Structure 1
Amino acid sequence: MTYADRQAERDSAYSTAYRDWVASLPPAERAQLAAGGLSEPDATRHTCTRQHDDATLDRTAAPEPTPDDVAELADEPAPVSPSAPADTTTTAADVLASFCARIRSHPNPLLAFDAACFASGLMDVEGLSETALAKRHRVTRAAFSKLVVAWSETFGLPPSRGMRSKRARHAYRQARLTSLAHHHDQAKT
């Protein structure tokens, strides 16, 4: 059972208890609650389903870039785009359409969606690691990580807290290739 499942159960229990409590009040007190907008439970206040929940946005924000990240970005060519798009709605619609098309065309859409969520930093809120998500989808952590990196690069997202930086990924790859070459050379002799 994930954190989201446990939270949904708690929210349901809270909503039921709140409605029972409101029903037990005299009509005058219920009218006062209704006037204040408190006649119904508000379970969205403490969950990550509310669109503008500042606490959630703070937790999922990308970490501050390190000097290494800034240096990596300076080495990359700047994307070619108009300085101020005339219609941001069209741009947002294009991005959303691209996102949906990529999810739908993937052989395992739920895996692709979870990888996109991890790349955005959303999975940090639920406390899920790449390893746990890979296990959920029955793929290796490396395969899941590769998908996460692809989403991150596709949409120009900075590495989320659960991801290694581009520089670290490159260093680990080089170390692995060196190790494999060394073992291959030893096998020949």
Structure 2
Amino acid sequence: MTYADRQAERDSAYSTAYRDWVASLPPAERAELAAGGLSEPDATRHTCTRQHDDATLDRTAAPEPTPDDVAELADEPAPVSPATPTDTTTAADVLASFCARIRSHPNPLLAFDAACFASGLMDVEGLSETALAKRHRVTRAAFSKLVVAWSETFGLPPSRGMRSKRARHAYRQARLTSLAQHHDQAQT
């Protein structure tokens, strides 16, 4: 059961209890609640499935960049685009590229979840790379590799659940050093 499923159950229980409570009130008090717009439960959900929810969009925004992120961005050359970002052909090309990559992947749902994680949408649902990897029966490292590929393909900054480029590079170097030492010990 995912976080969204548990939240839906809680919302349903809350709505039922609230309606029962309102029904138990005398008519005058119910009219007073209705006048204040409180006659119905307020179980608004802020998930990526709710359309046109500004709060969701605000919560999925990337956090303020750290000094390391700013340094990394300064080191990278700015992408050169022949068209302006508002150009509809560019948007159509990006969408077509996205759809083609999803459709051509051997496991489209895995690819889609990785793209959603890279964009930061899965943070709203409370899903981690580990949970998503388990859902798709792949290792966390394999899922992370897909997330990084999506992030680099579309030039997305690391989402909250991702490590920065600098951290990924440092972890990779440490792992390679560890493997080399292990290999050297095995040879002697």
TM-score of the pair, normalised by structure 2:
0.79
CA contact (8 A) 1:120 1:157 kept: yes
CA contact (8 A) 1:45 1:53 kept: no
What is the deviation of 1:170? 0.1
What is the deviation of 1:119? 0.6
What is the deviation of 1:9? 4.7
Give, in whole Å, the separation in 2 of the partners of 1:149 and 1:80.
Answer: 21
Identity %, equivalent residues: 97
What is the deviation of 1:177? 0.3
CA contact (8 A) 2:118 2:151 kept: yes
TM-aligned CA distance change 1:68 to 1:3, over 3 Å: same
CA contact (8 A) 2:48 2:121 kept: no
Q: Residues 85-105 of structure 1, C-alpha deviation per residue, up to 9 Å, x if partnerless? A: 573x22212111111111111
CA contact (8 A) 2:15 2:41 kept: yes
Q: Residues 10-69 of structure 1, C-alpha deviation per residue, up to 9 Å, x if partnerless? A: 666788899999999999999999999999998666544333323212221101111111
Give, in whole Å, the separation in 1 of the partners of 2:53 and 2:85.
Answer: 28
Give, in whole Å, the separation in 1 of the partners of 2:186 and 2:45.
Answer: 61
Give, in whole Å, the separation in 2 of the partners of 1:70 and 1:83.
Answer: 25
Give, in whole Å, the separation in 2 of the partners of 1:6 and 1:141.
Answer: 23
What is the deviation of 1:7? 3.9
Structure-2 residue corresponding to 1:37: 37
Give, in whole Å, the separation in 1 of the partners of 2:55 and 2:109.
Answer: 26
TM-aligned CA distance change 1:47 to 1:126, over 3 Å: closer
Higher mean displacement: 7-16 or 76-85: 7-16
Gaps of 5+ in 2: none
TM-aligned CA distance change 1:77 to 1:49, over 3 Å: same
Aligned length: 188
TM-aligned CA distance change 1:90 to 1:167, over 3 Å: same
Give, in whole Å, the separation in 2 of the partners of 1:35 and 1:103.
Answer: 49
TM-aligned CA distance change 1:85 to 1:166, over 3 Å: closer
Give, in whole Å, the separation in 2 of the partners of 1:90 and 1:35.
Answer: 49
Higher mean displacement: 63-72 or 168-177: 63-72
CA contact (8 A) 2:48 2:125 kept: no
Gaps of 5+ in 1: none
TM-aligned CA distance change 1:46 to 1:123, over 3 Å: closer
Give, in whole Å, the separation in 2 of the partners of 1:109 and 1:138.
Answer: 14
Give the 5 Å matches for 1:1-189.
Answer: 1-9=1-9, 46-82=46-82, 84=84, 87=87, 89-189=88-188
TM-score of the pair, normalised by structure 1:
0.79
Give, in whole Å, the separation in 2 of the partners of 1:125 and 1:141.
Answer: 19
CA contact (8 A) 2:63 2:160 kept: yes
Give, in whole Å, the separation in 1 of the partners of 2:142 and 2:49.
Answer: 28
Q: Residues 116-161 of structure 1, C-alpha deviation per residue, up to 9 Å, x if partnerless? A: 1111111111111111110110000000000000010011111011
